[in-house]
Amino acid sequence: MKVSKTLLSYSAIFVFVLLLYTGSSLLSAPDNYLKISQGLKLFSQVYKQVSSTYVDEIDPESFIEAAIRGMLKTLDPYTAYYSPENSSGINMLTTGSYGGVGIRLGMRGDSLTVISPMEGTPAGRSGIIAGDKIIKIDGLSTAGLKLDAAADMIRGPEGEEVELKISRHGFNGAIDFILVREKIILNEVIYSGFIKENIGYIRLTGFSKSSVSKFKESLTELINDGLEGVIIDLRDNPGGLLDAALKISDMFIDKGELLVSTKGRIRQMNKKHYSKKNPIIDRDIELVVIVNAGSASASEIFAGVVQDLDRGVIVGNKTFGKGLVQSVISLPYDKKVKVTTGKYYIPSGRLIQKEDYFHKGSSIIRDESDSLFATLNGRAVFGGGGITPDVIVESPKSSKLISDLWRKNMFYKYSGIWTTKHPEAIAPVTLEDSDVIEFIDFIVNSDFKYDSDVRKAYTSLIKALEANQYPENVVDEIKAVESKFYSLKDEFTETDVGIIKSVLSREISEMIGRTKGRYESIFLTDKVILRSVELLENNMFYNQTLGYIE
């Protein structure tokens, strides 16, 4: 019987997952073993009865997988079950490679867009460029397709073809590309170069298996070119492998220093990780690490190590607060489970995990921890929720209007118009106030629709009046004053104008000079990077921040 075979197969997975959470405690707690045995028996009965008697036919495999996922959802958000169909992200992280064509994808408005093709890949060699919109993949429309689903469609076995139909600004009709997938090595060093003489910059977007060699290569190149200070930008870097974070930390930290401790319920998780090699970068070369609320996990480990050992200054905004260890474990039938098996503690003894990480309704017992700690030089630092920078730099907050302009792709559309009108322009582009005025005029005269809070309140008022059958003359009088309080041009604030100038400069610079052009533009306007450069140019303040001088 199909149900019985499926139950037998997945019972092995169920038992395995349960054992992961009880571990060696089974030996010392017979009650746990009894409860597991009783639980499996109960589950077996429920599964058999429902599968056999439910009014409609049930697919046994998807039914039991739903049960496994439901069980794991009672724990933390990071423990998850993976079937072969949804494990590509895990595989990329652990191997550092995938079968694909070498495209970084993003959503511009509702369009699946090429952020940049990777050099030396099928996409890079074929002539696909940043800004191209992918409208079909193997003949299937990308309209309404989510980003992850589109990426999975483009990836596939090496040697097989994938056909992309692309719409490009300035071209009539679509362009067809037939690409042969290759082994693509993840490159999470998006940019590496000098901001100004002797001050280097590395943008790292992840910590996969391949990121260590790429990072080392970039850092070594900067050192050989006369590096005196370096900025490592980890903003919106969600983390990745602990091993990658440790190896990159090794490049900056003296051999033998404690980097990270991990603690868990099972003996194997209670480990201390020390730097294993002499640093490749001299301690006289000053270091700034930029973080924000999107910096998590391995990013926080690296930033925390740098802060606790007073190796560099942390700049930006408080990090996400994810200090949990995940172990990826293979299960029968090509399944995987990613399990939270421990917690990270950085050199000062801090737990960087934010306190409330459990799913609502979880019965896991909370652990109360100290919150005040000290760095190597005795500076006060805090635990219990991410890394607080040594120097906090608030970035301008985007208004709803700016967010809508992003979502509806208006910056990109205008950038194409601007570059067509200025064919002689070179990156990085510096825009004038007149360019912002032209952009706003473009928005006002376009089909862009924006519902401000005032506009929404006005619309609701009119609907309420009409629904309650107020006299027509009252409604008409209120409608008559609409133009007096609502003008799209008046919605743009002074802060919006500054953000528009910055964003447009970056978009246009990227159109002209690709990734290099974009970052050269960022260096001129990014407040966090500019503050970091100031730190590296002011040796006294840098050392005062780290507690080396009073």
Catalytic residues: 297, 308, 322
Q: How far apart are CA 291 and CA 318, in angstroms?
A: 7
282: alpha, beta or left? (left if phi > 0; alpha if psi -120 to 50): beta
Please answer whether residues 380 and 372 qualify as being in contact, where contact means their C-beta atoms are separated by less than 8 angstroms.
yes
Contacts of 347 (CB under 8 A, 6+ apart): 257, 258, 259, 260, 304, 305, 308, 309, 376
Please answer whether residues 261 and 230 qualify as being in contact, where contact means their C-beta atoms are separated by less than 8 angstroms.
no
Q: How far apart are CA 512 and CA 117, in angstroms?
A: 15
- The pairs formed by 376-383 with CB atoms below 8 angstroms and a separation of 24 or more are 376/308, 376/309, 376/310, 376/347, 377/310, 377/546, 377/547, 377/548, 378/547, 379/310, 379/546, 379/547, 381/307, 381/308, 381/348, 381/350, 382/350, 383/348, 383/349, 383/350, 383/351, 383/352
Q: How far apart are CA 319 and CA 61, in angstroms?
A: 40
Q: How far apart are CA 141 and CA 172, in angstroms?
A: 19
For 319-342, give the DSSP string: -----EEEEEEE-GGG-EEEEEEE
Please answer whether residues 318 and 388 qualify as being in contact, where contact means their C-beta atoms are separated by less than 8 angstroms.
yes
Q: Are strands 199-204 and 229-233 parallel, antiparallel or unpaired?
A: parallel
